[in-house]
Amino acid sequence: MTAHSWYIENRVAFVARSLEPGEERTFQDHLVRCDDCSREVVRLERELSWLPMGAAPVAPPPGFARQIAGEILDRPSRWRRYLPLAAAAALALVSVGVSLQARGEGRELRDRLASRESRLAALEDTLSVLRRANMVLQTQISMNGHQQGGLLIFQDAVSHRWGVIVHGLPPAPAGRMYQFWFITETGMVRSVEVTADPRRPAFMTLPMPGVAAPVMGAALTMEPMGDGGTNEPRGVTLAHVTF
């Protein structure tokens, strides 16, 4: 730590700028903290302010004042001088904003892409069941004695799955639901609920039921809602097919 006496001793040298560069920086740092030295430096600067006029004047070349004034006045305004910097800063801010937005949008796009890829994989998987099917069964769906659509079953022996298409079914009446069943040698096995939409077919890929008995066929019934998931159909059979 430099003693304060050093600063007092070197105040004039600081004003005259005859301190070494490192000493000058040390003194400048000190001035920030020391009011006494700051006041004294201002006073010394004032007292010695005329000293530079000890240098003899030098004649400027002809037209010097006009040239210098012209160069000063022709400069871009301070605002314009800083415009490129401001523009660069604004551009950087916009870039950051765009980048952040792009990152957000990128994340959303990645999610959407993942979802699409998942759906595409499911469709390819379903299509593979249809393409590999070694047997296709088709039957009509009847409701109240009238044909209401059809049931198609694609059996894939490789993946042991069925591709099932139900079309032409009206929405299930209130309190009712459509239920798909496997028919095995030992009885009916509940599969999935079929949601009917008259505008487009219902498409399902179903694994074979986890029972030892071989599957012999399938059935579509209309069951009462909330039947407790019984293992036997209680409602009306709409379609029935056996191998």
Partner 1 sequence: MHTYLMLSADSPSGDAAPVPGDPTKPSGASRGRRQFALAGEAGLRRRLIARDEQALVELIDVASPWLLGITQGMLSDADEAREVVLETFATAWDRIGSMGDEHEALLPWLMRIARNRAIDRLRRRRRFRLKLARAEAAGELPPDQVGAVEVNEAAQPGWHVHRSVHAALDALPPDQREAVRLAYFQGLTHSEIAARLGIPMGTVKTRLRLAFDKLRTALAPIKDWIA
**Rounded-to-integer distance, Cα 35 and Cα 47, Å:** 18
How many helices and strands, by DSSP H and E, does the chain display? 7, 8
Place of tokens 């059979």: 237
Q: Is 65 in the site for partner 1 (CB under 8 A)?
A: yes
Residue 48 as a binder of partner 1 (CB under 8 A): the answer is yes
CA-based nearest residue to 236, from 218, 217, 223: 223
Q: How far is the CB of 68 from partner 1 (least distance, A)?
A: 5
**Phi, psi for 180 (deg, rounded to 5):** -100, 140
Check residue 93 for interaction with partner 1 (CB under 8 A). Answer: no
Q: Applying CB under 8 A, which of residues 62, 210, 228, 229 lies at the interface with partner 1?
A: 62
Q: Give the residues across from 181 on adjacent strands.
A: 190, 219
Residue 71 binds to partner 1 (criterion: CB under 8 A): yes
Instruction: Work out whether 145 is an interface residue with partner 1 (CB under 8 A).
Output: no
Q: Does 90 bind partner 1 (CB under 8 A)?
A: no
Q: Is residue 45 a contact point for partner 1 (CB under 8 A)?
A: yes
26 touches partner 1 by CB under 8 A: no
Which listed residue (5, 35, 57, 200) binds partner 1 by CB under 8 A? 57
Under the binding rule (CB under 8 A), the answer on residue 47 touching partner 1 is yes
Residues of this chain, 171-200, that bind partner 1 according to CB under 8 A? none
β-pairing, 135-143 vs 146-156, is antiparallel
Q: Among 3, 5, 32, 52, which residue interacts with partner 1 (rule: CB under 8 A)?
A: 52
SS3 194: strand
The Cα-based distances of 160 to 53, 93, 132, 139, 178 in angstroms read 106, 58, 11, 21, 24
Question: If binding is defined by CB under 8 A, does position 17 make contact with partner 1?
Answer: yes
Distance CA(36)–CA(38), nearest Å, equals 5
Which span sits near partner 1 by CB under 8 A: 46-54, 104-112, 153-161, 168-176? 46-54
Binding of residue 46 to partner 1 (CB under 8 A): yes
Contact 185, 213 (CB under 8 A): yes
Length of the chain: 243
Q: Which of 26, 30, 44, 142 binds partner 1 (CB under 8 A)?
A: 44
- Please identify which residue in 3, 5, 20, 33 interacts with partner 1, judged by CB under 8 A: 20
List, as one string, the DSSP characters of 83-142.
HHHHHHHHHHHHHHHHHHHHHHHHHHHHHHHHHHHHHHHHHHHHHHHHHH-SEEEEEEEE
> Minimum distance from CB of 43 to partner 1 (Å)?
9
Task: Answer yes or no whether residue 85 interacts with partner 1 by CB under 8 A.
Answer: no
Residues that bind partner 1 (CB under 8 A): 9, 12-13, 16-21, 44-66, 68-69, 71-73, 75, 78
